[in-house]
Chain A
C-alpha cells in the first residue's frame, strides 16, 4: 500500500536521466572507451552489452568513481557529476554492485546496510534503532534475512540482496549491476529480478551488465551495445532479437591479416590429450591436440580457459581427469615437471606472471634453462648472451642492448621475449600454450604474432591459443573449442567458424 503511493509519487516527479557524454578512456596500448555517449532514463532497465574488451567494465568503473575518464562527463539530471572517488560517487547517488561484493563479512547485516550512516543516539550507535530500520527494509523486500547475523553466514544470493538493500537504503537514484546473476541459482535470480522490477517502478535508473541473453530479454527495457570501446547502437529490447544483438556486438571488418597467414596444413600424431579434466574451476574438459595443430580456446572472461591450461601446466591442482603427452599419461605436480616434459606456457598477464620486469632481457630469456647454462659452478654468461641474441634476431625484438630491462620494452617486444624464452635452442617445446598473447599489443605486432603461431605449428609444435578476441581466435586456430562456465560447450573448425556461432556457444544458457 505504502509502496504503491511511493511509486505513484515518483511517476509524478520528473523522470530522472543519467547521460554519458563523449566518454573516452585509454589504457597503455588500448583505447578502452572511445567517445561513448548515451542516456539512461529512470524507470527503465538499460542493458550494457558487448564482447570481452568492449568497454563495459571500464564504463562501470568510471561510473563508480574507481578510475577517472580521460574525456567526457557523466550527467545526472543534466548536472555534471564529479566522480573523483568511489566514496564521492556513492554520495552523488551512484551504487555499483559488482560481482565481488563490497561487504564486510564479519559485520552484521544491519551494520553493513547502514555502513557510514549508523543511527546515533547521544554519541552512541543505537542498535535498537538500527535493527528496526534494517528490519523495515528487509520486510519491504520480503526477504527471510536476520539483520543481526554476520554477512559471512549468508548465502551468496542473500549477500547480494544485502548489497542491493545497501544501495536502496542510500536511496541512490542510479544502481548498476555487473553480472549479478553469475553466482545465483534460478530461484535466487527470480528474487533478484523481483527486486530490480520494484526498483524500476520507483523510478530508479538501472544499468544491467550481463552476458546472458535470456536475462537481457527478460529484465531489460533498453540495450546499449558497445564494441571495441565504441558505442554501436541503442535498441529497445522489445523490438530486437538475439541474432540482431550478436551481429551488433560482432560486426567488424576482418582485414587481409588472416588471409595472408602462411599456415601449416600437415598434422602429426596426437601430442596432447586431455580427458575429463576437472579442477576447482573447470569440469570435464576433454580435447586432443595434434602435432602442428593450433587449437583455440574461446569463451568469455571467467569461462575457465586460463584455468584449463594452468592445470595442464602443473600450476593448479587437478581434481580428476587424465592428461596424456604423446600417448603416455603424465602427472605434473609443478610447472617444472611440465617444462621438463616439453610443455611451455606464456601466461595471461605477462607483467604479473611472465616477466621479471626489472631484470634484463638476458635473465628473462634464460629463466627456464639456467641448469643448462652451467659451466662448472657458474653460469655461462656468454652462452646466455648467445641465447638472448638468438631470440632477439629470431623475433626482431627492438632493443639497443642485450641487458636492457624488460620493463623498458614495449608490450609487443615483452611478449616476444617470453616467446624467445620457450623457443630457444635449449628447450624442446612440444606443446606451446599462449594465453592472451596479443593483449594490449598494437595491430602490427599482433599480425607478427599470428604468423609466429603458424610458424610454430609448421615446426611440429602443438599450439594452444587462448584469446578473448573472437575474430583472432577463429581466424588463427585450426579448431576452436568454446568454453562456458568451466565446460567446453562445443568445438568448431576454422572453416565453419563464424563469430556468431562461437559467441552463441560462449553465451550458452
Chain B
C-alpha cells in the first residue's frame, strides 16, 4: 500500500505537478484575492520564459548524465558579449549581436564539454571552477558595474504581449522550444542516444554509440540555451549585470524543476514536458511567496526544501534500479 502511493507519486509526475500548481494558485487566491491581476500574470509568464530556457538545457544535460554548475556564468558571459558588441559596433542590429552572444554561450559550454569529456575531469568540480572563472571575468570587464542596454527593439522582445492578453509573444517561443526539444528527445536518433548514454554510458559505448560526443553536444547545447536565457534576462532588465544571474542561480532552479518532473539525477530518464511543469511550479510558487510579501529568506528556504524533496523522490525511484545492479558501483553523473 505504502509502496503504491510512492509509485503513484513517481509515475504521475506531470499530473501531480499540475495539481500542486493549482494548490499554490488556490492558496494565493484565498490569501490575496486581489493579486490575480494582468500585471502579475504577465510577470509570472516572463519569469517562466527566463527559467524555461535554462530548464530545457539543464534537463537535457541531466538526462544525458551530466550537470553544469557554470550555466548561469555562461549566461552572464553571453550577455557581456552582447553588451560589448552593441557598444563596439554602433548601429549593429541587436539580432546579430544576439547571435554572436549565443555563439559565445556555445563556446563556454564547449569548454566544459572539453574538460569533462575530453580530458575527463570530474564535471562537478570542473564546472564549479569554470563558473568562478567566468564570473570573475564578467565582473572584471565592467569593473563590477551594471551597464544599461538601451535598445528599444531588444527590450520589446520580452515586453510585447499578444493583443490584450498578458501572454508575451516570447512565451510562445519558449513553448515552441520545449515542444521542439521534446520531439527531438522522443522521436529522433539523437534524443534516443541522449537517454541511452545517460542511462548506461558503458553499455552505450559497447553498442556502438559515442557517449563522449553526445554529452559534449549537450554541454554545448546547455551553453546555447543559457545564452538565450541570459539575453531574455538582459532584455527584461535592460542592462548588463555582472553578478545578477549568478546570484539567481537559474541552473539550481532548473535542477530542482527537472528532478521534480522526474528527470533522474543518474541520467537516462525523464521527459521535458514534466521538467517544464516543474519550472512552472517553482516560478509560480516563488512569485506567490513574493506577492504574499513573505521575506526573501523564506523563498530561499522553500527552494532548498524543494530540491531536497525532489532528490528524495528521485532516490526512491532509482532504488529499484540500484537493487537490480549486480555490483553496487553506481556512480553519480558528475563522477563519471
Contact = CB atoms under 8 A, between A and B. Distances in A.
Given A359-B268, A363-B195, A379-B192, A345 B325 contact: no
Interface string A94-129: 000000000000000000000000000000000000
B192 A355 contact: no
B203 A371 contact: no
Interface string B201-228: 0111111111000000000000000000
Given A353-B206, A356-B203, 16 more contacts: A334-B210, A335-B208, A336-B210, A340-B208, A347-B203, A352-B326, A355-B200, A356-B200, A357-B199, A357-B325, A358-B321, A359-B268, A367-B196, A370-B192, A370-B193, A407-B320
Nearest to B330: A352
Contact of B203 (A313, A334, A354): A354
A363 B199 CA distance: 11
A357 B204 CA distance: 11
Interface in A303-332: 313, 315
B205 A335 contact: yes
B11 interface: no
A254 interface: no
Contact of A379 (B188, B196, B206, B324): B188
Interface residues of B, number: 27
Contact of A345 (B187, B196, B206, B269): B206
A353 B208 contact: no
B239 to A, nearest CB: 40
Contact of B196 (A353, A359, A407): A359
Interface string A360-392: 000100111011011001110100000000000
Interface string B20-56: 0000000000000000000000000000000000000
Nearest to B269: A358
Contacts of B269: 358
Interface of A: 28, 313, 315, 334-336, 339-340, 345, 347, 349, 351-359, 363, 366-368, 370-371, 373-374, 377-379, 381, 407, 421, 440
Contacts of B207: 335, 339, 367-368, 421
A374 B205 CA distance: 20
Contact of A356 (B187, B188, B199): B199
B192 A363 contact: yes
Nearest to B191: A379
B212 to A, nearest CB: 10
Nearest to B189: A370
Contact of B324 (A347, A351, A353): A351
B271 to A, nearest CB: 14
A352 B189 contact: no
A377 B189 CA distance: 8
Nearest to B324: A407
Contact of A351 (B188, B205, B325): B325
B247 interface: no
Contacts of A352: 200, 202-203, 325-327, 329
B323 to A, nearest CB: 9
Which 10 residue pairs are nearest across A and B when measured between Cβ atoms?
A367-B207, A356-B199, A336-B208, A339-B208, A378-B187, A370-B189, A368-B208, A407-B324, A356-B200, A353-B202
Contacts of B193: 370
B324 A357 contact: yes
A421 B195 CA distance: 18
A313 B199 contact: no
A363 B324 contact: no
B326 A363 contact: no
B321 A357 contact: yes
Contacts of B203: 347, 352-356, 367
A345 B203 CA distance: 11
A351 B326 contact: yes
Contact of A367 (B204, B268, B320): B204
B194 to A, nearest CB: 12
A334 B207 CA distance: 10
Residue among B187, B200, B207, B325 facing the most chain A CB atoms (10 A cut-off): B207
Interface string B294-313: 00000000000000000000
B314 to A, nearest CB: 12
Contacts of A335: 205-208
14 contacts: A315-B205, A315-B206, A334-B205, A335-B207, A336-B208, A339-B207, A339-B208, A352-B200, A352-B202, A353-B202, A356-B195, A357-B324, A374-B189, A379-B188
B251 to A, nearest CB: 25
Contacts of A367: 196, 203-204, 207-209
Given A355-B200, A359-B199, A349 B268 contact: no
Contacts of A378: 187-188
A359 B321 contact: no
A359 B208 CA distance: 17
A367 B200 CA distance: 12
Interface in B98-126: none
B122 to A, nearest CB: 18
A363 B198 CA distance: 13
A407 B208 contact: no
Contacts of A339: 207-208
Nearest to A310: B206
Contacts of A371: 189
A107 B196 CA distance: 41
A421 B204 CA distance: 12
Nearest to A347: B206
B206 A407 contact: no
A315 B209 CA distance: 12
B1 to A, nearest CB: 21
Contacts of B205: 315, 334-335
Nearest to A439: B326
A374 B191 CA distance: 12
Contacts of A377: 188
Contacts of B268: 356, 358-359
A335 to B, nearest CB: 5
A134 B200 CA distance: 46
B208 A357 contact: no
Interface in B58-100: none
A353 B199 CA distance: 11
Nearest to B266: A358
Given A363-B192, A370-B193, A379-B187, A356 B325 contact: no
B206 A356 contact: no
Interface string B161-182: 0000000000000000000000
Contacts of B329: 352
Contacts of B210: 334, 336
Nearest to B320: A407
Residue among A368, A373, A374 facing the most chain B CB atoms (10 A cut-off): A368
A150 B7 CA distance: 50
